[in-house]
Structure formats: C-alpha cells, structure tokens
C-alpha cells in the first residue's frame, strides 16, 4: 500500500449534490485509497480529515456524518499490497459490513480492520470521530500520485484508439475524480489533452511505419 506523505488537513461541509463532494472523496482516496461516498440522510454531508506521519506509521483523524464509506471490489484493484488499520471511535459507534457479516464497533472499542477487502462503514448515530493507525503490508512507501498517474497512462495506452476515451472515462477506470486526474498531469508540466494528442500522434506514426516497413514472418 502506497502512502501519501504530504500534510493532509481537510474540513468540509457540503450539500449532497455539491461539486465539493469530489474534493472530499479525493481527500479520502489520498489518505486511505479509493472510496465511494454515499449519502445516508437528507442532511448535508460533513467531514474532517487530518493525516500525520510519524515513526513510519500513518495516523488518521477522521470525523464524518450523513454518509457511508464504501470500499468496492473494483477499488481493490488499485492496491498493490494488503494493509490493515487499528481504529477506535471516539464519539459514536460504527457499523461495518464486511465479508458477508455485520460488525458493530462501539465507542472507545479498538479494532483491527483489513482495508484491502470490500466493506461498507456507516456511523450509527450519523456522526463518528475515528482515529486510525496504519499497519502496512510492506515497508516501502511512496506517494499515491505516481501510482495513479501510471495507471492512468497505462489505461490511455490500452484505449488510445477508442473514440470514447475521455477524461471522465479515464478517471472512472482509475478510480479517481476528473479534477484529480487533470491535477496529476498538471503536476507533470502538461495537460491531459496534450498527452492524449502526443500519444495519438505517436501511435499514428508507428502504424504508418508498420505499413511502409512490414515485418516479415515465416
């Protein structure tokens, strides 16, 4: 499991239809890996996340309400190693559905959770303060951003000739938001559109060269 090592401190209060939902989901993804956020009430979604690193561990202070966090089977494809968390709720109980079973984690109860398994976590009183400490399956650490960028580029190469290849389709395949996808390329000093254009030019040139100089096979 790769770690995000920059300081992350996010507080958000938003309507369920707000574009800020992408920002909140990005923050959760950077800290924990890909998550789906689903509203559970008509009240606005609220959340606060703070991440710190010390002694090779990642500590997460997470507060959220009016939502459930869903780790889908599709999102598990984005993890390289298994990893676990120690966690304990500070101000409210948490219900976790995992591997066909339901678990109620009471206030102040310490629990060990496998993060690289599909699950749904829902605060039972619509508010939970949760502190987690990561236990990594590997001692190697790296930013999530290079991993997401590599996956995006790999997907682009596989689907380069497909007319339906768009920023939204790429982001959906990689498990990130469109705005975060654009940021990944901007941080590399180019735009997604420029990268797609140059890759398609390179592909077209390669196809022309193959026609001019066909490879003879026995």
Q: Is the pLDDT of residue 190 over 50?
A: yes
| In the block, residue with structure tokens 């509203």 | 39
Highest mean pLDDT among 16-30, 52-66, 84-98, 126-140: 84-98
Residues 132 and 100: their CA atoms lie apart, in Å, by 23
Rounded Cα distance between 37 and 1, Å, is 21
The structure's pTM equals: 0.56
Q: Return the CATH number at 157.
A: 1.10.10.60
- Give domain status of residue 217, yes or no: no
The pLDDT of residue 150 is 83
Whether 135 has a pLDDT exceeding 70, the answer reads no
Average pLDDT over residues 88-94: 86
Q: What is the distance between the alpha carbons of residues 28 and 51, in angstroms, rounded to a whole number? A: 10
Do 163 and 130 have their domain in common? no
pLDDT at 57: 79
DSSP secondary structure code for residue 118 in this structure: -
Q: Which residue has the higher pLDDT, 180 or 175?
A: 180
102 and 49 share one domain:
yes
Domain count across the chain:
2
Q: So what's the pLDDT on residue 218?
A: 52
Kindly state whether residue 152 falls inside one of the protein's structural domains. yes
Q: Assess if residue 3 is contained within a domain.
A: no
**Same domain membership, residue 117 and residue 13:** yes
* pLDDT value of position 18: 58
Phi and psi at residue 134, to the nearest 5°: -75, 140
Q: Is 141 a residue whose pLDDT tops 60? A: no
Order of all β-strands in the sheet with 57-65: 8-14, 45-54, 57-65, 128-136, 83-89, 111-114
CATH code assigned at 52? 2.60.120.10
pLDDT tens-digit series, residues 25-43: 888 888 888 888 898 887 8
Q: So what's the pLDDT on residue 5?
A: 37
How far is Cα 9 from Cα 19, in angstroms, rounded to an integer? 19
Which residue among 136, 160, 180 closes a domain? Answer: 136
Show the domain range for 160.
Answer: 144-212
Residues 110 and 155 in one domain: no
| Contact in structure between 173 and 156 (CB atoms under 8 Å) | no
- Residues facing residue 20 across a β-bridge: none
């Amino acid at each position: 499991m790769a770690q995000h090592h920059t300081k992350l401190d996010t507080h958000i209060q938003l309507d369920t239809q707000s574009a800020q939902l992408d920002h909140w989901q990005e923050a959760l993804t950077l800290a924990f890996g890909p998550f789906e956020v689903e509203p559970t009430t008509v009240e606005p979604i609220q959340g606060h996340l703070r991440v710190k690193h010390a002694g090779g561990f990642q500590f997460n202070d997470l507060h959220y309400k009016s939502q459930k966090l869903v780790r889908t089977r599709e999102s598990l494809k984005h993890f390289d190693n298994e990893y676990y968390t120690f966690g304990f709720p500070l101000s409210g109980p948490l219900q976790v559905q995992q591997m066909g079973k339901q678990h109620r984690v009471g206030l102040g109860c310490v629990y060990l959770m496998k993060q690289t398994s599909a699950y749904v976590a829902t605060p039972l009183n619509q508010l939970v303060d949760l502190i987690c400490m990561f236990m990594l399956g590997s001692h190697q650490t790296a930013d999530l951003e290079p991993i997401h960028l590599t996956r995006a580029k790999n997907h682009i190469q596989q689907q380069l000739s497909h007319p339906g290849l768009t920023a939204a389709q790429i982001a959906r395949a990689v498990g990130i938001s469109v705005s975060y996808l654009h940021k990944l390329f901007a941080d590399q000093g180019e735009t997604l559109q420029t990268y797609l254009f140059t890759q398609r030019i390179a592909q077209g040139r390669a196809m022309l060269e193959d026609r001019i100089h066909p490879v003879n096979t026995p």
